[in-house]
Amino acid sequence: MENIDFEGLKRLVKQFVGGKVMLSFHSIGDTDAVASAMALSGLFASSSIATPDKISYNMGRILQKLDYKNKIPAAFSNDSDLIVLLDVNNFEDCGSFSQKLSETKIPILIIDHHSPSKIKKDNVYVFNDESYTSTTSIVYKLLKSLGAQVDQNIAKLLSLGIISDSAEFKNSSALTFVQLGELFNIAKTDYDTLLNEFFYTPSAETRASIISELFNSNVAIKNDTIFLYGSTSVHPGSTADIAIKMGADVAIFRGENDKGVSFSTRLRSGLDKKYGIDLGKIMKKLSRIIKGSGGGHPCAAGAYGSAKESGDAVVEYFILEVLKHIKQKRQK
């Protein structure tokens, strides 16, 4: 593995502009990950975007609104000149692609903004800079520095990626606002208009269901931390988001359908760093209980699987895992 700086990133990307490139991301690709792949794909002469399993509900809805719904296949390209992994710094979080990435001899470029990567493989090049608040921020700077054109739709996607990883601008820097200002000009939009265009407002009936289910959910204070958990008839992510906005420190909500069970988890911004909690790693681990897959980020993650009967165990172990980190940190 070779760590590269921004100039090294530019040089490497330039080498493959005329080649065949596969772009991918972590399991259950979120807005930052998928938007980064969509924006960077246009830089190469031949590119494909592949998801290791599925993309998040919210990102799927955004892509449908922009008519990109047919551009995210789940097919690993074995004849690529370069593989680019976005918003992920290891192979383990890449779902069904993990083994293939470990075995391939194709050069792999990682672009991320989380903790440093520790992959022991000679064909891996890593640009990982935690000073950026999102991968879309890195991608936009890269596109600008290479003189690439950013059209209106890509500008919207990049804006949404930057916003989604800002935790309502709690995780932001001066660059966040400078880039959003530039992207809003390209997209011919503003913050409020963009939110109204893409951030889904549920129907009155759906909102009533969320409120009712939140009132009927379980609330527990453990180690001076508020846990909110339960089941929901709507998308678990929406309910978990609102739970955090209502004042919960940790939330996990469960949804079921004919295909199985899914979970969405959230953590109040800042608690990941304070206690060393990574919900993505926890949900990846617990997804085995429901015979599925999972992953995400330190403050937002999910899992899905076919074993509905094991759903209660996921909630139980999730709370124990989070408490373990809190107790360990407080004992030091």
> DSSP secondary structure string, 8-27?
HHHHHHHHTTTSEEEEEESS
pLDDT in the model for residue 117: 76
Superfamily of domain 2-197: inorganic pyrophosphatase (n-terminal core) (3.90.1640.10)
Residue 70 binned pLDDT confidence (cut-offs 50, 70, 90): low
pTM over 0.85: no
What digits encode the pLDDT tens for the residues 185-219? 999 999 999 999 987 777 788 888 888 889 889 99
pLDDT in the model for residue 71: 62
Residues 306-322 have a mean pLDDT of 94
pLDDT in the model for residue 237: 85
Question: Strand ranges (DSSP E) for the chain?
Answer: 2-3, 20-25, 46-49, 82-86, 108-112, 124-128, 218-222, 225-231, 250-257, 260-267, 292-296, 300-305
What digits encode the pLDDT tens for the residues 247-287? 999 999 999 988 899 999 999 988 998 999 999 889 989 99
Domain layout of the chain by residue ranges: 2-197, 204-331
CATH tag for 204-331 (out of 3.10.310.40, 1.20.1250.20, 3.40.50.2300, 3.30.565.10): 3.10.310.40
Q: Indicate left, alpha or beta for 29 from its phi (over 0: left) and psi (-120 to 50: alpha).
A: beta
Residue 332 in this model has a pLDDT that exceeds 70: no
Residue 227 in this model has a pLDDT that exceeds 90: yes
Residue 9 binned pLDDT confidence (cut-offs 50, 70, 90): very high
Q: If you count them, how many residues does the chain have?
A: 332
Which amino acid belongs to residue 217?
Answer: S
